[in-house]
Each structure stands twice: as C-alpha cells, then as structure tokens.
C-alpha cells in the first residue's frame, strides 16, 4: 500500500477527478453548512468573504501544536485567510476576519504547491491546513500539483468542524489526519458567538465522518501521527462551550479511546470584551470542571493543557513573518 494514500489517488488519476469535482462547487458554493450558493469564481462573496482564488495569510514550521502533530521538527502550518465562522473571541482574528482585504494574500495554485514543498524541505512532519474549509477545492488541487513534484508527507485538516459532510467524503484518502475543534454543545452559543447556525449538529456530523475515514490516532515509532483523528476542545468562561456534554458525546458516539486535546488557553481576544463572561480568562475552577469530566467519563487518550501556563501558550502575531516567535 502506498502511504500517504493521496499518492495512490494521484497515481490513479482519482485525485485530479476529486479536485475537479470540488472546484465546480465554487460556482454555487456549498463547501460548508451555510451553503451560500454564491459564484466565487466570478468574484461573488458569501459568509467567508473569499473569492475562489486561494488566499494564504501565513505559513511556517510550527512547534506549538500537540506533540504528535509538531513532533521534533514542527508541523508545516499553512494559515488560510478568512474563515467560515465569525468567532467574537478569535485568537487568529488578524487573518481570519480580513474580509475583502484577504485579496492581498491571494496566490496561484502552483505557489500553494511550492509552499507545501518548502515546508517538507524544512523537515516538517506534515502539512497542516489551518482553517481550510472555504478553500478545500484549491487545497486538493494544490496537493495534486505538489505530489507530482515530490510531496510525500501526511496532510492534516485543522478545522473548526463547521464542515459539509458531502465535501468531507471527497477528502477520503486525501487527508491523513483530521484535527477538528468541537466548540459548542448548545446551538445558541454557536449562533451568538460564532454566527454559526446549527453548529453542534453540523460539527458532530462532520466529526463522525472524519472518524469514519481515519479512525483513532495512529503514531509512528517516534510518536508522530501518521493517520487518525485528534479532537480539540477549548474551555470557555461561564461554561459557554458545554464541555461536559461535548465530551460525553465524543465518548458515546465516536469512541471512548478518542484522542482529545483539552485547552485552557482562552484569553479575551478580538471582540470578546463585549460578550461577558468572555471578557475574562477561564477560572481554575471552571477548567477543573472540564478536567473532572474527562476523568469521570473515562477519556484517557490525549493531552490536557496546564491552566497555569495556558495564558501564554497561544499568542500569535500575524503581522510578523514568524507569528509564534516571542
């Protein structure tokens, strides 16, 4: 068996067929559950405020992801401009909320392929697509072109999970590692805080499809992920994330052995000050409620961020070439 599996899809011509099928969706965009229906090829803008030309805001070897993603040599992160969510507390708001200003970050598909190859040449363990949902067709075509030129490392789909199941099915065998968030258990929180109608149902359906494709996290002899799924959950102040309910759903409906990353790194970024209790950090007591839920539910696979160290764990500045360097 050829691994990563996108290499076999490329050899057979299936990867090209998938890329073409996905690209047609730009003309009546239904890449996420919003199904805006705009013609992005002609420059119409939907909720993500993005045309069909792929926009890359930043790319870099990243050493701050979970251990099986960053490994010793870093994860080759490609941050796409704009997003299909509008989180009021977004820690990447410098690049996720650009709107039409994202045009200055638009690049060709050949350049996207070159970026993947540059990150591979830098020694990265994988290519990590951050906020990929609204550019999936471009990503798949970029992978095809990069594979023709020697790309051979795993692909990570790093998503908010507000994804279309129909689109995800076209990624089967293309993506090696899915890394979705599970943000909310309550639909009202998704609507108010991320302008994402029906977020819990959509995200759960997407996560179930991702797990069907790749299963539990599989690590190599160095402890670096080869394939599988790692689910992230950011604990929010005031219990707004519905942590216990989401964790219970993951155990009962996905797997009691699912790999989880529980994060305490919330801080009031972007517009959070206007949405109490998001104007403050997560308290230790609130975070302990989430860690207690992990223990009570018997969820033992994964990583729990330290509450004490969390405030400084993720403070990127995307105005710099290396946004994660202090």
Q: Is 189 helix (H, G, I), strand (E, B) or coil?
A: helix
Count CB atoms within 10 A of the CB of residue 222.
10
pLDDT-based confidence at residue 97 (cuts at 50, 70, 90): confident
Q: Which two tokens stand for residue 55?
A: 């926009």
| Angle value at C-alpha 166, between 229 and 244, nearest 5 degrees | 45
Tell me the pLDDT tens digit for each residue of 134-143: 999 999 999 9
C-alpha closest to that of 182 among 155, 210, 156, 154: 210
Averaged pLDDT of the chain: 95
Share of the chain above pLDDT 70, in %: 97
pTM of the shown model: 0.95
Q: What are phi and psi of 162, to 5 degrees?
A: -85, 70
Ordered domains of the chain (ranges, CATH)? 6-29+37-312 (3.20.20.70)
Q: What is the pLDDT of residue 212?
A: 99
Tell me the sheet residues that pair with 76: 61, 127
């Amino acid at each position: 068996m050829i691994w990563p599996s996108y290499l076999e899809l490329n050899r057979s011509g299936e990867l090209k067929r998938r890329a073409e099928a996905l690209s047609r969706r730009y003309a009546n965009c239904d890449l996420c559950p919003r199904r805006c229906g705009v013609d992005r090829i002609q420059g119409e803008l939907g909720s993500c405020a993005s045309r069909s030309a792929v926009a890359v805001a930043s790319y870099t070897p990243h050493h701050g992801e979970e251990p099986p993603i960053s490994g010793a040599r870093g994860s080759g992160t490609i941050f796409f401009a704009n997003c299909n969510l509008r989180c009021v507390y977004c820690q990447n708001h410098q690049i996720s909320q650009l709107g039409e200003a994202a045009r200055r970050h638009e690049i060709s598909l050949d350049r996207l392929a070159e970026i993947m190859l540059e990150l591979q040449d830098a020694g990265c363990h994988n290519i990590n697509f951050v906020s990929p949902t609204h550019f999936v067709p471009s990503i798949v075509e970029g992978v095809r072109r990069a594979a023709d030129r020697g790309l051979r490392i795993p692909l990570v789909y790093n998503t908010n999970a507000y994804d279309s199941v129909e689109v995800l099915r076209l990624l089967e065998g293309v993506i090696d590692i899915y890394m979705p968030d599970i943000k909310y258990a309550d639909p009202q929180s998704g609507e108010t805080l991320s302008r994402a109608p029906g977020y819990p149902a959509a995200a759960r359906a997407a996560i179930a499809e991702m797990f069907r494709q790749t299963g539990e996290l599989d690590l190599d002899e160095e402890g670096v992920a080869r394939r599988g799924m790692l689910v992230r959950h950011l604990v929010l102040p005031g219990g707004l994330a519905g942590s216990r309910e989401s964790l219970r759903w993951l155990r009962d409906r996905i797997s009691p052995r699912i790999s989880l990353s529980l994060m305490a790194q919330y801080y009031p970024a972007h517009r959070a000050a206007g949405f109490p209790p998001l104007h403050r950090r997560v308290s230790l007591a609130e975070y302990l409620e989430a860690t207690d839920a992990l223990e009570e539910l018997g969820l033992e696979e994964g990583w729990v961020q330290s509450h004490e160290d969390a405030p400084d764990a993720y403070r990127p500045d995307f105005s710099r070439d290396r946004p994660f360097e202090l």
